[in-house]
Structure 1
Amino acid sequence: MFKPLLLALALILPTPQQSPAPSLAWSPCPGDKIGMECADLQVPVDWSKPDGRRITLKLGRLKATGRSEGSVLISYGGPGGPGIGLTQSLSSWWTKLRARMDLVTWDTRGYGRQFGGLATGLDCTWTRLPIPEFPRDDAGFGRLSDTNRGAAEVCRHNDPELFAHMSSADHARDMEAIRKALGGDRLNYYGASYSGIYGQAYARLFPGQVRTMVLDGTLNHSTADWGAEVAAMAADNERHLRRFFTWCAASGDCRDVPGKFRSLVRRADRTPVRAAAGVAYTGRDLRSFAIGRARQGEPGWPALAKAVRRAHAGDASGFLPERGARYPDQSTGVTECTDWPRPASRAELDATVTRVRRAAPTAGAANTLAAGSLACIGWPAPVTNPPAPLPKGLPPLLGAGAWGESDAVSRILAQVPGSVTIAHDGPGHTLYGANACARDHIDRYLTDGRLPSQGTTC
C-alpha cells in the first residue's frame, strides 16, 4: 500500500442523465460456499458518454442474517482488490454487521482475472519494477518519462478507452450506479486502504447521497495543497523512525544504531550497499525498508537494529525482503497515475523533494508519493482525478487508522464538521479486520449512525 506533487484543478464531469436503474439478477457466485450471490451491472466505460460503450461490473451480496435494514457497500483497496473473493474469505469479519445489513461488494473495472476479479479487465500483465531513483538532471527526467510511457503503452494499446478511465473518480461513479441499482437509498460505505480514495471521490461527486462513510487506513486525497500533504506523509515516516531510535537509545543493546543508520544512508546515497549478488541498495532503498520495519513496532525492532549494523559494515542482506531482492516503496499503476499529481519538470520535482526532506531529514522522500509518483512521469493518460477538498454539506464521517494512518485520515475528516477518527496507538494497516474495538464502533456507525466520542482510541 500507500503521494506526489503539484496540484491540478479538480475535474468534475457532469452527472449524466440516466434511464431508470436496471434490476439486478442475483444468482449464486461461481464456486461460492458461503451463500454469496452475484450479479452483473453494465456501466459506461466513459461516464461522460452514457450512451457509449459499456463494461461489466461484477457485484457480490451477502444477505443480512436478520431483518435487513439496508446495505453497506464494501471495498478493500489495492486498488483493484477483488471484493467478491476477499469478502468470501473474510466473511467472519462482518458477522455482527451482517445481522442487520446486507453486505454488497464489487470487483472493480479494469482489474480482471489476473487480479482475481470478475469484472471487465484491462488485458495487461503489469511487471513490478523498483521505484526509480530521482533523476539528477533534465536529461534523466526525460529518459524516465520515455521509459514510463513505453511501459504503460503496452497496456494502453490493448484498450485505450478503459486505460484512460480507471481513476478513483471512475470507481466512484460506478459506486453511484451500484447505489441506484440497489434501490436508491443513500450510501453506506466502508472503504479500506486505497478504497478510501474512492470514498473521497464519491463524497466530492455525490455529497447528497452519503448516509454513512468509513475511511479506514487511507491516504488524504482531499487537500488543496498536495505538496503539504506529501510533506506531512514524510513527517509521519520520520515519527516511525523516531520511535525506533528512542527505543534504541533506551536499550543497552543498540544505542549506537541511530547514528549508524544516518551515516549508512548518507554513504549509500553516494555508493549503494551490496545486499546480494547483483543487488545493492541506495540510501532511499534503505530508508524505505527501515520505515517499513519501524512501523512493525517493538517486535520487529531488534531485527532492524541488527540489519542496520550489518549494512553499516557493508552487508545490506539483512534488508532483503521476502518478496524479492528489490521491493522498496509502493507500487504504481493505472489507477494511481490518474489520481496522483506528477511533476511536469525536474525543477518542479526537485522543489517537492526539498520540501519533503526538510519535513523528514532522516526518512527523506522514501515511502511517500514524491517517490511513488516517479513511475507516473510521462504516463500516457492525464490526471483526471486530482486531489481536491471535500465539499460542504456532507454528514459526519468516521475514520480509523493505526500509526500514521489515523493522522492522514484526521486531516481528511477535519473538513467535515462532527466527524471522528478512531486511532490505534500501534502498528498495523486498517483497523476493522484486526481491532474488535474499532470494529464495534464502525458497525454501530454504519447501522445506527452513531459516532464514537472525539478522541476515541482502540
Structure 2
Amino acid sequence: MPNPSRPRAAALTTSAVLMAALLAGCGGSGHGDLTKQKLQWKDCPAPSAPEGGGPAPSPLPGGAKWQCSTMLAPLDWAKPKGDTIGIALIRAKADGPAKDRIGSLVFNFGGPGGSGVTTLPAFAEDYAALRTRYDLVSFDPRGVGRSAPVLCESDSQLDTFFQQDATPENTAEQKQLIARTEKFNNACEQRSPKILPHVRTTDAARDMDLMRQVLGDSKLHYFGISYGTELGGVYAHLFPKHVGRAVFDAVVDPTQTPEEGALSQARGFQLALDNFAEDCTSKVEDCPVGDTPDDVKNRIAKLLKDLEKKPIPGIYPRQLTQTAATNGIAQSLYSKDFWEYLTEGLEQAYDGDGRVLMLLSDSMNGRSENGDYSNITPANLAINCSDEKPRYSAAYIQSKLPDFRGASPVFGDYLAWGMAGCTDWAVPGAADHPDVHAPGAAPILVVGNTGDPATPYEGARAMVDALGKGVAVELTYKGQGHGAYDSKNKCVQKAVNDYLLTGKTPEPNTVCG
C-alpha cells in the first residue's frame, strides 16, 4: 500500500514546462559541470497531469508568489557528463531579515512518488514559522510529476486496474492478479524505458546533493516525511559531511525487508482501525457504525466480504469493490482528521452507497474528480521495485497469509498480495533494505508517532540505531495518524522549530502527548 501523496496545488513555469517536456524523454546532452548551473526562477503555472492537475498555487500570506524552476541532473549518475533530465523545483523565499537567513530547507513529503512541487504550497501554512529563516524548497524526485515521470497505463486502464480483485482466494484468481500485474509492469517498461533504470533512492539522494550545491548551501537542511525519511537516511549515508539540520518525521524502518515492512504496516493499520473503533464508540453520542469496538470491526469485515461477492454503486459508472473499499478505509486512517469521513463512508456503504469510500480510495490512488490520474502509482512502483531486491511469488505469498491475517484481519490479505507488485519488473532491485549508516553526520531529529499506521512507531528507534551512535536524537509523539508535525501538536512543533531555527536539539527521548 503506497503512502498517499498530499493534496496537489502547484507546478512549473511555462518555460520550465517546455524544458521538462524536452527532457522527459531523457535525451538531453551532457552539460559539463552541473554544479555551476544557474536556476531560472519564475512564477508557477498549473500542475501538469502527472503532478495531479489543478490550479496554480495561490500567493503566500502577504502576497509573495511561489517560484518554480528546473535543475538539470544526470540521467545516469554513473555517467555524470552524459544525458540529463530536468528536476522540477519550487520555493518560497524566506520572509525574515536577510541577516537571519540560514539557507534553503528542502522538503520531501514521501510516497515514494509524491510531487513536492504540488504538496509544499498545500501545506505551506504549517511551516510558516520555518520560513522566517529558510527558503522553503521542494521538488518532484526523478520519475515523479514533472521530473521525467514514469508513465504506465492510461487513465481508463488505471480505472480497471484499481477495480481488480487484489485479494485472490483461489489459484485462478491468483493467476489473474499476477497476469494483471505483469501487464501493468510491461506497460511501464514500454512507455518509460529510459528513466526506469534510474529512479533508485540513491539516484534521488545524489540529485539532492546537486540541488544543495546549486541552491548555494554548504550543508543540506532537510525535512523528510514518511518515505522522505528513507531518502534522508540514504543521503546521510552517502554524504554524512554535508548533512545540516535535518528532521525525519513518520519514520520508515530502514532495517526491514519489503515483506517485514508490509507485515509491520498490517499491524499499524490494524492498530489505527482499533483506535478509530475505540474512539467512535467511546463518545457520548451513539457511534453510527457499531455499538462496541468489536462490533465496528466485525461490521467492516462483513462489508468487505459482501463487497467481494457483490459491489455496490460508487462514483458512476464505477462500483465500490472490496479492493476499493479497503483502499478507502486505509486512506482514512492516515489522519485522525479523516475519521469523520470514514464514519460517513461506512454509514453510506451499509446503506448501499459507496461514493465516500470511493472518493477516499481515489485520493489514495491519485485520481482527480475528472478521472485523470497523477503518476504517483507508477512512480511508487518504479522506485520501490528498483530499490527492493526481493521478488515474491504467488506461492510464497500464499504461505505467508496466516502471518498477515494474524497481524490484521482487515488489511492482512491486501498487504500480503501487494508484495506481488514487482513481479516481472524490468529493473533488478538494489538491496534487501537501504543503508542509512551515517557516522559523522550532524544531529538528525527523528520523530516517531505511537499511532502511525503507515510507518509504525518502532521504525523511529530502528532508524536511530541504524544511523549510528551519536547521530540521531529521538522525539516521541503519543498521537494518531501518519506523522507528528502536521498533527499541529504544539510540543512537537516547538521541538522541531527550535531545532531547525536555532540548532538546539530537544532532550533525548522527549515525549509529547
TM range (shorter): 0.7 to 0.9
Structure 1 match to 2:228: 195
Residues 1:358 and 1:414: Cα distance change in structure 2 (over 3 Å): farther
SS in 2 for 1:96: helix
* 1:223 aligned to which of 247, 255, 258: 255
Structure 1 match to 2:294: 258
Confirm whether residue 148 of structure 1 aligns to residue 184 of structure 2: no
> Quick one: distance in 2 between partners of 1:297 and 1:37?
32
> Quick one: distance in 2 between partners of 1:61 and 1:309?
41
Q: Relative to total residues, which structure has the larger helix share, 1 or 2?
A: 2
Residues 1:208 and 1:324: Cα distance change in structure 2 (over 3 Å): closer
SS in 1 for 2:85: strand
> Which amino acid in the other structure matches residue 425 of structure 2?
W
Aligned length: 432
**Contact 1:36/1:61 (CA < 8 Å) preserved in 2?**
yes
> Which amino acid in the other structure matches residue 266 of structure 2?
A
Gaps of 5+ in 2: 4-31, 46-56, 367-375
> Quick one: distance in 1 between partners of 2:347 and 2:252?
29
* 2:132 aligned to which of 93, 99, 121: 99
Once the two structures are overlaid, the 10-residue window that deviates more, 187-196 or 266-275, is 266-275
Residues 1:363 and 1:106: Cα distance change in structure 2 (over 3 Å): closer
**Contact 1:76/1:83 (CA < 8 Å) preserved in 2?**
yes
SS in 2 for 1:74: strand
* 1:348 aligned to which of 393, 396, 407: 396
Confirm whether residue 275 of structure 1 aligns to residue 312 of structure 2: yes
Confirm whether residue 307 of structure 1 aligns to residue 329 of structure 2: no
> Which amino acid in the other structure matches residue 138 of structure 2?
T
Residues 1:226 and 1:122: Cα distance change in structure 2 (over 3 Å): closer
SS in 2 for 1:456: strand
> Quick one: distance in 2 between partners of 1:38 and 1:248?
43
> Quick one: distance in 2 between partners of 1:413 and 1:176?
21
Residues 1:397 and 1:406: Cα distance change in structure 2 (over 3 Å): farther
> Quick one: distance in 2 between partners of 1:299 and 1:61?
29
> Quick one: distance in 2 between partners of 1:299 and 1:87?
20
Shift of 1:240: 1.9
* 1:72 aligned to which of 83, 88, 105: 105
**Contact 1:307/1:319 (CA < 8 Å) preserved in 2?**
no
Structure 1 match to 2:445: 398
Residues 1:376 and 1:443: Cα distance change in structure 2 (over 3 Å): same
Residues 1:51 and 1:138: Cα distance change in structure 2 (over 3 Å): farther
> Quick one: distance in 2 between partners of 1:303 and 1:84?
28
> Quick one: distance in 1 between partners of 2:464 and 2:505?
15
Confirm whether residue 59 of structure 1 aligns to residue 96 of structure 2: no
Confirm whether residue 423 of structure 1 aligns to residue 477 of structure 2: yes
> Quick one: distance in 2 between partners of 1:303 and 1:77?
23
**Contact 2:245/2:444 (CA < 8 Å) preserved in 1?**
yes
> Quick one: distance in 2 between partners of 1:363 and 1:87?
30
Alpha-carbon RMSD across the aligned residues, in angstroms, is 3.9
Structure 1 match to 2:271: 239
Confirm whether residue 358 of structure 1 aligns to residue 406 of structure 2: yes
SS in 2 for 1:49: coil
Structure 1 match to 2:71: 41
Residues 1:325 and 1:382: Cα distance change in structure 2 (over 3 Å): same
> Which amino acid in the other structure matches residue 374 of structure 1?
A
1:215-274 per-residue CA deviation (whole Å, 9 max, x = no partner) reads 223533x11444333322222222223224444665766435624743763685485354
SS in 2 for 1:199: helix
> Quick one: distance in 2 between partners of 1:19 and 1:298?
47
**Contact 1:401/1:431 (CA < 8 Å) preserved in 2?**
no
Residues 1:87 and 1:276: Cα distance change in structure 2 (over 3 Å): closer
> Which amino acid in the other structure matches residue 47 of structure 1?
W
- Among the aligned pairs, what percent are the same residue? 21
1:372-409 per-residue CA deviation (whole Å, 9 max, x = no partner) reads 34333233333236523531514442233552146154
Shift of 1:73: 1.3
* 1:374 aligned to which of 416, 420, 436: 420
Confirm whether residue 441 of structure 1 aligns to residue 495 of structure 2: yes
> Quick one: distance in 1 between partners of 2:504 and 2:431?
31
* 1:205 aligned to which of 216, 229, 238: 238
> Quick one: distance in 1 between partners of 2:116 and 2:349?
42
> Which amino acid in the other structure matches residue 102 of structure 1?
D
> Quick one: distance in 1 between partners of 2:235 and 2:114?
18
1:5-62 per-residue CA deviation (whole Å, 9 max, x = no partner) reads xxxxxxxxxxxxx957224234333458525444432211121222321111233343
**Contact 2:324/2:361 (CA < 8 Å) preserved in 1?**
no
Shift of 1:336: 3.3
> Quick one: distance in 1 between partners of 2:35 and 2:390?
37
Structure 1 match to 2:15: none
> Quick one: distance in 2 between partners of 1:167 and 1:47?
11
**Contact 1:132/1:374 (CA < 8 Å) preserved in 2?**
no
**Contact 1:27/1:38 (CA < 8 Å) preserved in 2?**
yes
Residues 1:327 and 1:143: Cα distance change in structure 2 (over 3 Å): farther
SS in 2 for 1:51: coil
1:313-366 per-residue CA deviation (whole Å, 9 max, x = no partner) reads xx5536852527888889742323334565431222123333222223454344
> Quick one: distance in 2 between partners of 1:294 and 1:152?
28
**Contact 2:225/2:249 (CA < 8 Å) preserved in 1?**
yes
SS in 1 for 2:500: helix
Once the two structures are overlaid, the 10-residue window that deviates more, 148-157 or 168-177, is 148-157
Once the two structures are overlaid, the 10-residue window that deviates more, 185-194 or 332-341, is 332-341
Q: Which one has more relative contact order, counting CA pairs under 8 Å at least 6 apart?
A: 1
